[in-house]
Chains A and B, each alone.
Chain A
Amino acid sequence: MPYFKTSAEWYEQSSLLLKARPSSTRITSKYAVRKPTAAKIKKREKYAAKQPEKPADLTRTSSPPPQSQSPDEPTTTFTLKTYDPESGTCLQYETNKAAEVGRLVGNLGRLGRSMAALPEAPEDASAPAGSGDGVSTPKPEESGDVKMGGVPSTSAPAATGGKKKKKGKK
């Protein structure tokens, strides 16, 4: 059961799985807030104690790393899982970024269309979900790849394109 690096990859593979087994595949998304274990708190404290030495050398004023995190802050994750019990296929993607949620749920909606045996989502219908939170997805390329003949290699450029866009925005 692989965890994918990018959500685009997860989306593509999930959509292929859904095309193959639309009746048995289910998509589970889990939003989990966990309190850290004692060991984790210790580890974070250790890390925090080490941190102050570093920025002094670098003299970087612009971006103090996420030092604001207190040691006992809960860990929050959002996990997407596509599972087909018949074949045992399980595809997963995990994130901890709030900015991605809107886009991911948009993806769920588009996958929902193929679940419901509706035709591919029209571009304009899926666009607001993605652009709403400011993180861009390479929509046209993606939906092109989703066709049954889509080879994983063709999706690679699409995925990297998305990344480049994101970097540019930040």
Chain B
Amino acid sequence: MGREHLTNDEFFTQLGNLFELNRKKGHGSIILTQKRLTYDSTSTPPTPTKVADDPLWDTHPENPLPILIRACNNKSSKREGTDRDDVEKIALSTIVKPDDLDGFFARYAEACKTGMSGLKKRDRKKGKKGKKDKKKGAAGETKA
């Protein structure tokens, strides 16, 4: 793909916008992809080099490899009789270095949690009642 990769920070702001757009629209999808980045344009040999003798050549590379993260929305086109409108496809991508992986995914999880607001919330009423009972029971047990 010809487009340039964003930095991790930019990626998160753009991802936030993407979720926001989706929320405003009321429907639509967000697609997130992650994969190993095996081809690096800056260094000459693609890492790791394929070894003909070893069929499992890619299972044990010498160095940790970066990960490519992509995000996009769905393109939609105007349709009469519905509230569908022309929406351009927005595609984002970023590269996560192996060292930043844990930090990135912590932020990623937060971004997804806030962005995916359409999913079903937990049933609060039911949950609370159960929890209280449990807590009382647990407290009694520990005391006794």
Which A residue sits closest to B138, measured CB to CB?
Answer: A168
Is A147 among interface residues, defined by CB-CB distance under 8 A? no
Complex interface residues of chain B between 22 and 39 (CB less than 8 A to chain A): 22, 26-36, 38
Known pairs A76-B119, A102-B113, A169-B131; A112 contacts B101 (CB<8 A): yes
Chain B interface residue bracket vs A:
35 or more
Is A161 among interface residues, defined by CB-CB distance under 8 A? no
| B109 / chain A contacts, CB cutoff of 8 Å | 101-102, 105-106, 109, 129, 132
Q: How far is the CB of A22 from chain B (nearest CB, A)?
A: 6
B 25-66 binary contact with A (CB < 8 Å = 1; else 0):
011111111111010000000000000000000111101111
Can you spell out 27 A-B residue pairs with CB atoms less than 8 angstroms apart?
A25-B36, A26-B34, A27-B35, A29-B32, A31-B29, A31-B112, A63-B126, A74-B27, A96-B119, A97-B120, A98-B113, A98-B122, A101-B112, A101-B116, A105-B108, A105-B109, A106-B105, A109-B104, A109-B109, A112-B96, A115-B67, A116-B65, A116-B98, A116-B101, A125-B102, A132-B109, A170-B131
